[in-house]
Chain A
Amino acid sequence: MVLKLLGFKQAERAKPKAVAPAKAGRPTPKARPTPVYEPAEHIVLEEDPVQRHMQLERFGSVVRHRERWKDHPLIEAAFQAAVEEIDRTFAIVPEGFVSLAMTTTDFPGAAEEDVETEPFLLARCCVTNRQYQLFVDSGGYADLDLWPADVWPHLINFKDQTEQPGPRFWRDGVHDQRLADHPVVGICYYEAAAFAHWAGYRLPTGAEWQMAASWRIRSSAHVLRRYPWGDALDTSRCNIWASNVGGTTPVDAYPTGAAPNGALQLIGNVWEWADSDYFVTDDSGRMVVGDMLLKEIRGGAYDTYFPAQATSCFRTGLPSLARVHNVGFRCVVDLSNTSPAPAEGDRK
């Protein structure tokens, strides 16, 4: 039998060389169109410190500094408003315990570390560009008290596309207003921690984040959730690669993917910085290190290809100074901080 195949082979070989006459001069490859950017506006800051704190949505800081401003005529009203706002935007995570994977692969019997977590308040949503704009406009990048001393030399690198202080993908120190309610990205671990400190909050530890997502509360059942909504992947409840969105979404999207306490997007959209160093070993027990200190990130992002890497228990790390397109953060409040006691650990 003879198969009549294509004329492909011989035709290709006989084909004249795929060349074209060079045009006069050296043609420069065509430039891509510059993406449109709709800059948000800077804010005008209030003179009064309490009013300015409220304007900047530093609610945690208002609660912390209640004693310092006890003679201020507006402090009680501000305190109440701040507590109400924290109550509205944060959700309680009960005490529990988590098992942190201590190896890069999660084969049965792989090393884990059990960690107990105290109850705390977790932000329902990641910090948005609009919220981070308040930090930038208030001079957060110039306030050295917000940054560890060993990071000061790096502050000059925390610039946007136009060399202004701010997240990597901003321009002229402002965000694109079309992304105002999207999570802020292009910030390193230290920028996330500085914002949290400035606002009167802190970042969650890896164990706290995992507790919030896996909801492993103390009970006789010892139930552990693979995802905040349950055990089965559902791409309609989160924004990962398989959801076919291809970019970040507003932080309040995917309400059906909420954790039992109402925290949104713990899985997908953007990875979240955690206040934990990332130390693991590989299968052979060798320590895994990065080019620099690796900090833990959690939850997966819109471009996470493997669903198994966007679960409540998956741990990974990123260099602490990395300012990438798919990592944001959310804040937590210690329950004790919502009481009127002064904040002794406050660095300011």
Chain B
Amino acid sequence: MTTYANDTLVGTDCLICGARNLSGASLCGQCSAPLAIVHDIAAQDRDPQIVSIIGESNVGKTVYLGFLLDMLTQRAGDYEAIPKGAYSIDLPQTVISHMAQRSFPPKTPMEANEWYWAYYQICQRKPKPKWIDLIMPDMAGESLAAEVASPNTFKVIRNLLRLSAGSMLLVDAALAANGATQGDFFAVKMLSYIDSMHAAKRDERIECPIAVVLCKADFCPECFDDPRRFVRANLNRLWNLCESRFANVEFFSCSVVGSLGYATSPQEDYVVPIPLHTGLQGVLEPFQWIVDQF
């Protein structure tokens, strides 16, 4: 058992990067992870698992994670979820309060010290009660892109992905259905990054569970009919890499917004997307699958 310290004498070791921080620091000086998580974990008796939500900018990571956490705290799917620390509630609160007022939450800043982190104790009550501690940070898409393009730009991302017990890779199904290849390439870059990090040989495959989540599937309901077929047809690069390098991949479709409108003005040359109403589909399933893999 490793010994960590957070007192006035020796300071606090970061859970994510291991750097020693000055006492009283709230964020890790090395990777900007909140040190409050270290203190909260100290009081528990279980090793936490990290689940990473990854995907390109504007794919919907913040909204997805916010709804997922809020659903869990409302005991969806027979889960019981206990947020540890007020900081864990900030993300669902922000997402829910914005979406209830028919607006999307603000974009996650690139700076890691402004990300939301969530530390939850979650009980899967069936078939028999099983508690797990989960850490789920809300990483910015631009930061992920920067780290993938130039490794170690964001050390926190590298460390998080290395420590992750599972990842949810969000891909914009609406763009993919329209023939855009951007999402396909970004997803391949992300998985390639994870692949490189594991330094697995060509004849080995990575076992870390990856849930590929087709977001905004309300735009192309075919996703819900057969997400696997959709990925194969519309995200073929991603499909092939999953087959070649990852042993534990599953595909899901998800939708949070029931209908999307756009606020427009002749005087302005941009439109503001407005979530007219919510309609949750497939939010919990990827999480359930990931947890089942632990």
Contacts and interface: CB of A to CB of B under 8 A. Distances in A.
Contacts of B1: 4-7
Interface in A305-340: 305-306, 308-309, 314, 316-319, 322-326
A3 B47 CA distance: 15
Contacts of B279: 301, 303-305, 324, 326
A332 B203 CA distance: 65
Contact of B258 (A9, A10, A326): A326
A1 B10 CA distance: 8
B5 A2 contact: yes
A306 B278 contact: yes
Given A241-B280, A317-B276, A325-B221, A29 B251 contact: yes
B134 interface: no
A159 B224 CA distance: 16
A157 interface: no
Contacts of A6: 1-2, 41, 46-48
Given A3-B7, A19-B206, A305-B278, A8 B263 contact: no
Contacts, number: 189
Interface in B76-108: 76, 99-102
B233 to A, nearest CB: 15
Contacts of A309: 100, 277-278
B250 interface: yes
B2 A286 contact: no
Interface string B222-239: 001100100000000000
B274 A104 contact: yes
A229 B120 CA distance: 38
A289 B264 contact: yes
B6 interface: yes
A77 interface: no
A107 B265 CA distance: 21
Interface stretch (A20-28, A143-151, A209-217): A20-28
Contact of B274 (A21, A168, A282): A282
A288 B273 CA distance: 9
Interface string B33-75: 0000011011000111000000000000000000100000010
Interface residues of A, number: 63
Interface size class of B (residues with CB under 8 A): 35 or more
Contacts of B214: none
B136 to A, nearest CB: 15
B22 interface: no
B63 to A, nearest CB: 12
Interface in B139-156: none
A20 B262 CA distance: 47
Nearest to B135: A8
A5 B2 contact: yes
Nearest to A29: B249
B41 A303 contact: no
Q: Interface on chain A toward B: helix, strand, loop, or mixed SS?
A: loop
Interface string B3-18: 1111101100101001
Contact of A324 (B9, B218, B263, B272): B218
B6 A3 contact: yes
A219 B171 CA distance: 54
A290 B273 CA distance: 9
Contacts of B249: 29
Given A287-B264, A290-B260, A19 B41 contact: no
B259 A317 contact: yes
A340 B204 CA distance: 79
B101 A2 contact: no
B176 interface: no
B128 to A, nearest CB: 21
Contacts of B218: 324
A71 interface: no
Contacts of A308: 100
A196 interface: no
Interface string B244-275: 10010111000000111111110010001010
Contacts of A7: 1-2, 47
9 contacts: A2-B10, A6-B2, A9-B13, A10-B2, A19-B205, A26-B244, A29-B243, A304-B277, A326-B258
Among all A-B residue pairs, the 5 with the closest Cβ atoms: A19-B200, A5-B4, A286-B263, A19-B204, A282-B263
Interface of B: 1-7, 9-10, 13, 15, 18, 38-39, 41-42, 46-48, 67, 74, 76, 99-102, 162-163, 198-208, 218, 221, 224-225, 228, 242-244, 247, 249-251, 258-265, 268, 272, 274, 276-281
